[in-house]
């Protein structure tokens, strides 16, 4: 069959999307799912097994979205499923402490040198929101520093981007956020020590915390110089400002101890989400005994949740994290991802395609330039047109990437070398089509 004649059957998905529009704004319950920046209606997925997902039209894809990061073991992992099923059989929620909660808490704290105590919540957003409140409660200060190109969930005061005027003062990226909230947030460029130092020197007396994705992976993959992160740590100590690592993606992904372990940097508070719940809704934040003693009921910073540490979610998290502790797990993830990335990169180089792949552990991102990118403003929006075409060509051939060029890809433990070779071959074919069209 000629390449141009490959047609993706998505009648059922298209119908379901039309129906969904009657019930949900834009037909979705989270905006990027609507496929606004790629071709066609969103695929309605009915099943996932290992590294593959199947849509309502019975097309199957090798999946690199992994439910946006949580599924580090792939879809429908047997041990995780069995633990969920046996837990559900005894009821779904009690609103009391449970042994399962202890087990997951112990597993994490025992294997993470960077936190002494943890508090479970139900999403990454909730973890970040609580961490910010904690930082403000401890320091008695109100301003927050964030970096352009880092995403921290839909927390009001963090839906802020760099403003057009004075670099440090932001503007909101969503309607419905009071000007007074925006004023509490200072926005800096990533990987820029001078901007950081200038801001801390000028405003340290008002700044409660600096929050950063140590592995920024929500706006491309903007890998930072280790020296920048080390400098950030030292400057926060120097100016009496708390440092929050938002590890909702990097936690349990770039290593069991996340980016803190990867870079050997001790933040004051760490937030988790995604992988920690093994595909169920869980978030968490943690820190030292001292830091965590400020949280209610021990301390004055209030934070609560009806479904916090839900036993079914705890079971899924435990069954997942336990498998990550197997010797060589992360080395294997890194090696298989490296092989995929190298193969595609070699092909692109041979063909003279203007692109490169960024990678850390089992996270990768395709940039449509050869330059290394460490800041959000270095991403050329024109590259997104290439991504849009690539996404279409990949779907036609059976590879699923998150539906935006700003999203990273995730390799799971269920992607075998054979799966990755198949995906690489498809990727090469798709790139030929995209670059032939220019
Ligand atoms: C996904 C994400 C969040 C938000 O988590 P939700 O569970 O979607 O609320 C926060 N921070 C980072 C770094 C994330 O990747």
Is 93 found in the same domain as 42?
Answer: no
Parallel, antiparallel or unpaired: strands 242-246 and 269-272? parallel
Is 277 found in the same domain as 128?
Answer: yes
The domain total for the chain is 2
Residue ending a domain, choose from 324, 352, 372: 324
Is 390 found in the same domain as 320?
Answer: no
Is 247 found in the same domain as 153?
Answer: yes
User: Which residues are known catalytic residues?
Assistant: 151, 246, 274
Is 184 found in the same domain as 36?
Answer: no
Ligand 1 centre from 128 Cα, in Å? 8
Residues 339, 71: Cα–Cα separation, whole Å: 20
Is 161 found in the same domain as 307?
Answer: yes
Is 315 found in the same domain as 295?
Answer: yes
pLDDT in tens, the chain (438 residues): 445 567 889 999 999 999 999 999 999 999 999 999 999 999 999 999 999 999 999 999 999 999 999 999 999 999 999 999 999 999 999 999 999 999 999 999 999 999 999 999 999 999 999 999 999 999 999 999 999 999 999 999 999 988 765 556 788 999 999 999 999 999 999 999 999 999 999 999 999 999 999 999 999 999 999 999 999 999 999 999 999 999 999 999 999 999 999 999 999 999 999 999 999 999 999 999 999 999 999 999 999 999 999 999 999 999 999 999 999 999 999 999 999 999 999 999 999 999 999 999 999 999 999 999 999 999 999 999 999 999 999 999 999 999 999 999 999 999 999 999 999 999 999 999 999 986
What CATH number did the domain enclosing 384 receive? 3.90.1150.10
* Beta strands in 251-376, from DSSP E residues, in sequence order: 269-272, 283-287, 356-360, 363-367
Residues 336, 342: Cα–Cα separation, whole Å: 10
What CATH number did the domain enclosing 231 receive? 3.40.640.10
Structure tokens that stand for 437 in this block: 């069209």
Residue ending a domain, choose from 291, 306, 324: 324
Domain span at residue 331? 2-76+327-437
Residue ending a domain, choose from 324, 339, 354: 324
Is 285 found in the same domain as 161?
Answer: yes
| Pocket of ligand 1 from Cβ distances under 6 Å | 123-125, 128, 151-153, 213, 218, 246, 248-249, 273, 283
Is 189 found in the same domain as 318?
Answer: yes
Residues 314, 430: Cα–Cα separation, whole Å: 40
Atom of ligand 1 nearest to the CA of 271: 11
């Amino acid at each position: 069959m000629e390449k141009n004649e490959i047609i993706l059957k998505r009648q059922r998905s298209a119908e379901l999307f039309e129906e969904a529009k009657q019930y949900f704004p834009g037909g979705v319950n989270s905006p990027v799912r609507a496929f606004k920046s790629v071709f066609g209606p969103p695929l309605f997925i009915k099943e996932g097994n290992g590294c593959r997902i199947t849509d309502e039209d019975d097309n199957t894809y090798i999946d690199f979205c992994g439910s946006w990061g949580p599924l580090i073991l792939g879809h429908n992992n047997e041990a995780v499923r069995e633990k969920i099923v046996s837990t559900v059989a005894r009821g779904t929620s009690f609103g009391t402490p449970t042994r399962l909660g202890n087990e997951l808490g112990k597993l994490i704290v025992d294997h993470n040198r960077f936190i002494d105590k943890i508090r479970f919540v139900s999403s990454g957003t909730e973890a970040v929101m609580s961490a910010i409140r904690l930082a403000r409660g401890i320091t008695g200060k109100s301003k927050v520093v964030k970096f352009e190109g880092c995403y921290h969930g839909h927390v009001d005061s963090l839906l802020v981007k760099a403003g057009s005027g004075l670099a440090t003062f932001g503007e909101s990226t969503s309607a419905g956020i009071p000007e007074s909230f925006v004023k509490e947030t200072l926005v800096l460029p990533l990987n820029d020590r001078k901007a950081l130092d200038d801001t801390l020197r000028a405003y340290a007396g008002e700044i409660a915390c600096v929050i950063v994705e140590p592995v920024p992976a929500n706006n491309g993959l903007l890998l930072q110089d280790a020296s920048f992160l080390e400098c950030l740590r030292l400057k926060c100590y120097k100016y009496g400002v708390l440092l929050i690592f938002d590890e909702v993606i990097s936690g349990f992904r770039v290593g069991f101890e996340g980016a803190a372990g990867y870079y050997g940097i001790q933040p004051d508070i760490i937030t988790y989400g995604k992988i920690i719940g093994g595909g169920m809704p869980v978030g968490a934040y943690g820190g030292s005994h001292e830091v965590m003693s400020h949280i209610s009921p021990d301390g004055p910073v209030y934070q609560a949740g009806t479904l916090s540490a839900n036993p079914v979610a705890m079971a899924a998290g435990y069954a997942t994290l336990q498998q990550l502790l197997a010797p060589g797990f992360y080395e294997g993830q890194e090696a298989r991802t490296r092989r995929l990335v190298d193969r595609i990169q070699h092909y692109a180089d041979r063909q003279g395609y203007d692109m490169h792949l960024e990678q850390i552990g089992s996270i990768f991102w395709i940039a449509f330039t050869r330059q290394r990118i460490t800041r959000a403003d270095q991403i050329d929006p024109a590259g997104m047109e290439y991504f849009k075409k690539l996404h279409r060509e990949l779907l036609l051939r059976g590879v699923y990437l998150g539906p935006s060029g700003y999203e990273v890809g995730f390799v799971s433990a269920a992607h075998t070398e054979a799966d990755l070779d198949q995906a690489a071959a498809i990727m090469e074919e798709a790139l030929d089509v995209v670059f032939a069209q220019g």
